Amino acid sequence: MTDTRAISLIMSLRGQGITDQRVLSAIERTPRETFVDDPFEANAYENSALPIACGQTISQPYIVALSTQELEIQANHRVLEIGTGSGYQAAVLAQLCRMVYTVERHKPLMQLAHSRFQQLKLHNIVTRHGDGFQGWPEQAPFDRILLTAAIPDLSPTLIDQLKPGGILVAPVGKPVSAESNSQDLVKIIRTEEGTSRQSLIPVVFVPMVPGLPQVNSDGETRK
């Protein structure tokens, strides 16, 4: 049975202009409380981002909904996500497409997300511990690519992993600072001739960080 809090969340997303019924149903079916840490269980259905381990965040449901809607996903698609985080966005995508490939640089986050996918029997999500700046060349090309961490500039490495006709959605811009207080959520469509680019809305995402975190001799991980 759907949690009544999930129904209120869906109504609020509709009010914010999310019209794709398949996206709304996928969000309604995804138990967000499974993806937040215990202290935030009571806040799981609020339309806001929340902190998760390793200094990262689970995205706001509205941003998950908008990004997913703009990806125009079809049932036979293979989708690459960069930035697994809690696993929530991947779980929403998995209900709409054939296969989700998700990459995370923090191993503990990747492992926790993987166990959540098992628990929810989402067997069409494959996880990888790695640097998303490289994409996932062995599985490319993808029908769709979603970045859930902000990239300063979109690199050809990622766009080259998109099929012609494919769509990539990403927060593009520098980390939030005194000079810039948001990034741009950008939608790129790869055409035979090149790419077309559309700016959707200003957003605030954690930055994409190159390479893997270094683990020191005490087993502590540096960001």
Which of 73, 82, 99, 169 lies at the binding interface for ligand SAH (CB under 6 A)?
82
Structure tokens at 117: 């996918």
State yes or no: residue 173 binds ligand SAH (CB under 6 A): no
Structure tokens at 118: 């098992």
Q: What angle do CA 204, 209, 215 make, to 5 degrees?
A: 130
Which of 126, 154, 189, 209 lies at the binding interface for ligand SAH (CB under 6 A)?
209
Which element (helix H / strand E) includes 81?
A: strand 78-82
172-210 burial, b at 16+ Cβ within 10 Å, e below that, comes to bbeeeeeeeeebbbbbbbbeeeeeeeeebeebbbbebbe
Q: Which is nearer to ligand SAH, 15 or 51 (CB)?
A: 51
Q: What's the min distance (Å) between Cβ of 194 and ligand SAH? A: 25
Q: Identify the CA nearest to 172 among candidates 190, 195, 148.
A: 148
Structure tokens at 214: 């270094």
Contact window for ligand SAH (CB under 6 A) among 3-11, 54-62, 70-78, 117-125:
54-62
Pattern 100-139, ligand SAH, x by CB under 6 A: ---xxxx--x---------------------xxx------
Reply yes or no on whether 25 is catalytic: no
Which of 58, 79, 185, 188 lies at the binding interface for ligand SAH (CB under 6 A)?
58
Q: Which is nearer to ligand SAH, 106 or 144 (CB)?
A: 106
Identity of the amino acid at 172: V
Which of 68, 69, 95, 148 lies at the binding interface for ligand SAH (CB under 6 A)?
148
Check 12, 59, 115, 196 and give the catalytic one. Answer: 59
Which of 145, 149, 169, 172 lies at the binding interface for ligand SAH (CB under 6 A)?
149
* Distance between CA atoms of residues 15 and 95, nearest Å: 23
Which of 13, 30, 32, 59 lies at the binding interface for ligand SAH (CB under 6 A)?
59
DSSP string, 157-211: HHHTTEEEEEEEEEEESPPS-SS-S-EEEEEEEE-SSSEEEEEEEEE--PBP--S
Q: Which is nearer to ligand SAH, 35 or 192 (CB)?
A: 35
Q: Identify the CA nearest to 93 among candidates 110, 108, 104, 80.
A: 80
State yes or no: residue 99 binds ligand SAH (CB under 6 A): no
The catalytic residues are: 59
Footprint of ligand SAH on this chain (CB under 6 A)? 56-59, 82-83, 85-86, 88-89, 103-106, 109, 131-133, 148-149, 206, 208-210
